[in-house]
């Protein structure tokens, strides 16, 4: 008797920019994320701030916020994958653990304490041809929040100072920039030196998407102080055009206004309290799906941080 084994269909990855119509995504999970970490275990200054103040977010609230995002994806017929739940383990920020450029999935070199997060999406990775999955060499550090494909460009947030090892907030180094340039030789890899601070969240751009993100087809959100080199900020202003750029304040950057997420050039998911930004987006004929996400934002991450796009049209 012949037995037939039904193999899972393979995912045809396709990510060329930040805003094309989304078809498939990994959305992190807040289920069983555990209690507030000890202060010495905090990965970023904003989390540390809320641990000290006793205002660190609780699981129930964060699950509700992520469910609101899942509901928006369902509304727009987006295929959603979720990580396997690991007991008492934070798996909210799926963007940190990997990213897709064209048809390639690149595993990030994340903080050692977070290695189990990539194992929790193994059921997704098994649907990607092994020849399309890449892992950076050990000396190349990178997280997905620092990587933005934009047509022929790959924007990369980095920090290359000699004091790199002293910053828990420095996540992507020049080794990763060189690796991406070698992996995608037909694209122009553009690095941006980000401002880092271990204790002041208003002076810290944890990832590139904490101070910059393209929206629509030709617009961008940006926070000038997130860039150490003003010339790199000016280059972005020139690329998108001053009239197409929404500049956010230090306070808005702190609340993660640049960390929204595009479902299409004319549809974004944004935090409901981002009044000024959401008004600007609507003034440019972009539909804004507002969700509550202020609790998750206390961990210095928001909507882009908790999503890992796999397929866009």
- Each residue's pLDDT tens digit, 35-59: 888 998 888 999 999 999 999 999 9
Residues 6+ apart with CB under 8 A from 98: 105, 106, 107, 108, 118, 121, 144, 308
Write the CA distances from 222 to 56, 81, 252, 287, integer angstroms: 27, 29, 10, 20
Predicted model pTM:
0.94
Q: Whole-angstrom Cα distance, residue 100 to residue 20?
A: 14
Q: Is the dihedral of CA 137, 141, 144, 148 positive or negative?
A: negative
Question: What local confidence, expressed as pLDDT, does residue 8 receive?
Answer: 57
Say how far apart CA 198 and CA 200 lie, in whole Å. 6
Distance between CA atoms of residues 306 and 69, nearest Å: 10
CATH number of 22-206+298-312: 3.75.10.10
Condensed to tens digits (0 to 9), the pLDDT of residues 230-253 reads 999 999 999 999 999 999 999 999
Tens-level pLDDT at each residue, the chain (313 residues): 455 444 457 899 999 999 999 999 999 999 999 888 899 888 899 999 999 999 999 999 999 999 999 999 999 999 999 999 999 999 999 999 999 999 999 999 877 777 789 999 999 999 999 999 999 998 999 999 999 999 999 999 999 999 988 998 989 999 999 999 999 999 999 999 999 999 999 999 999 999 999 999 999 999 999 999 999 999 999 999 999 999 999 999 999 999 999 999 999 999 999 999 999 999 999 999 999 999 999 999 999 999 999 999 9
Closest to 75 measured CA to CA, from 290, 272, 278, 259:
290
């Amino acid at each position: 008797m012949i037995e037939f084994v039904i193999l899972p269909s393979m995912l045809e990855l396709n990510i060329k920019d930040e805003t094309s119509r989304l078809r498939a995504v990994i959305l992190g999970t807040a289920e069983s994320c555990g209690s507030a970490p000890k202060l010495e275990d905090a990965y970023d200054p904003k989390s540390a701030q809320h641990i000290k103040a006793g205002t660190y977010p609780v699981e129930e609230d964060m699950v509700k916020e992520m469910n609101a995002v899942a509901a928006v994806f369902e509304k727009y017929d987006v295929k959603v994958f979720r990580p396997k739940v690991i007991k008492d383990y934070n798996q909210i920020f799926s963007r940190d653990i990997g990213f897709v450029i064209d048809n390639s999935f690149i595993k990030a070199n994340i903080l050692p304490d977070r290695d189990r997060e990539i194992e929790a999406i193994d059921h997704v990775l098994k649907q990607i041809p092994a020849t399309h999955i890449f892992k950076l060499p050990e000396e190349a550090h990178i997280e997905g929040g620092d990587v933005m494909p934009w047509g022929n460009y790959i924007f990369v947030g980095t920090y290359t100072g000699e004091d790199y090892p002293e910053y828990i907030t420095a996540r992507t180094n020049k080794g990763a920039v060189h690796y991406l340039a070698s992996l995608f030789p037909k694209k122009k890899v553009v690095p941006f030196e980000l401002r880092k601070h271990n204790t002041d969240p208003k002076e810290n751009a944890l990832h590139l998407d904490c101070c910059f993100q393209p929206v629509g087809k030709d617009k961008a959100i940006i926070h000038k102080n997130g860039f150490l080199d003003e010339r790199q900020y000016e280059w972005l202003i020139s690329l998108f055009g001053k009239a197409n750029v929404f500049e956010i304040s230090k306070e808005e950057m702190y609340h993660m206004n640049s960390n929204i997420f595009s479902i299409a050039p004319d549809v974004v998911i944004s935090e409901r309290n981002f009044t000024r930004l959401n008004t600007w987006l609507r003034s440019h004929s972009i539909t804004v799906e507002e969700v509550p996400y202020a609790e998750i934002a206390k961990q210095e991450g928001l909507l882009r941080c908790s999503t890992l796009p796999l397929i866009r049209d």
